Amino acid sequence: MNDLDAENRLRFEQLVLPHVDAAFNLARWLLRSREDAEDVAQEALLRACRFFRGFHGGDARAWLLQIVRNTCYSWLEKNRPRDLMVEFDEELHPQPVATPESIAIADEGRERLNRALETVPPRFREVLILRELEGCSYKEIAEITSIPIGTVMSSLSRARRQLHSALANSSHKEATREV
């Protein structure tokens, strides 16, 4: 039997399923879309379940997020390869997305941050999400993203600078609009 027996199944539910929120959150921020995140995170969880036998203890969250991340990237390659090619341009203006959903979000600041975050390229956005929203340590980030631990800090540093300048950019835009 290649699939999980009852005991492994229970282990999977106890170790991996508590991290469903983390999986969804990472997919949502990598794909910039809730609908796509649902599909891709689900695919990642099924994959995790299929390969659970290969997981021998350790940090279940890091293991799952690694699978989520890889699944997201292969999905992006297939469906939105341009996303992966975009390099951050300091002059790039965050595109205001006027969906009914974004209009419904009352909190202007949140929406501004949201748009600014989405202009940060995925490779940098992910370290920011893992650190700031998921609370991962540098070691965990290195494990999840397969980048050397020594470069986690420089990636974070670049990511924060990019977010900072995207935010400055958008507040500048708003100020000019008000005038």
Partner 1 sequence: MRCDFADSHLHGYFDGELSDPSAAEFERHLQHCVHCAVELVDLDLLSGQLQTARLYEAAPASFRKKIRTNLRPVVPTPAHAPSLLLSWRWQAAAALFLAALIVWRVIPAFHGAEDYQAQFAAGIVDAHLRSLLPGQITNVNSNDPKTLRAWFDGKIKFTFPIRDFRDQGFSLQGGRVDVVQGRTVAALVYANRKHLVNVFAWPTPEPDVSPRAGSRQGYQWIDWRKDKMEFCAVSDAPTSDLEQLQDLLTE
122, 140, 142, 162: which one binds partner 1 (CB under 8 A): 140
Burial 80-115 (b: 16+ CB within 10 A, else e): eeeeeeeebeeeeebeeeeeeeeeeeeeeeebbebb
Cα 37 from Cα 45, distance rounded (Å) = 12
- Cβ count within 10 A of residue 160: 16
Hey, which residues between 7 and 36 contact partner 1 (CB under 8 A)? 9-10, 13-14, 17-25, 28-29, 34
Q: Cβ 48 to partner 1, closest distance in Å? A: 10
CB of 142 vs partner 1, minimal distance in Å: 11
d(CA 162, CA 40): 26
143: enclosing H helix or E strand: helix 138-145
Query: Is 46 near partner 1 (CB under 8 A)?
Result: yes
Taking the C-alpha atoms of residue 136 and residue 28, their distance in angstroms, rounded to an integer, is 17
Asked if 113 interacts with partner 1 (CB under 8 A), we say yes
Instruction: Mark the segment that binds partner 1 (CB under 8 A) among 67-75, 78-86, 96-104, 106-114.
Output: 106-114
List residues near partner 1 by CB under 8 A: 1-6, 9-10, 13-14, 17-25, 28-29, 34, 37-38, 41-42, 45-46, 49-50, 59, 61, 107, 109-110, 113-114, 117, 128, 131-140, 153-154, 156-157, 160, 163-164, 167
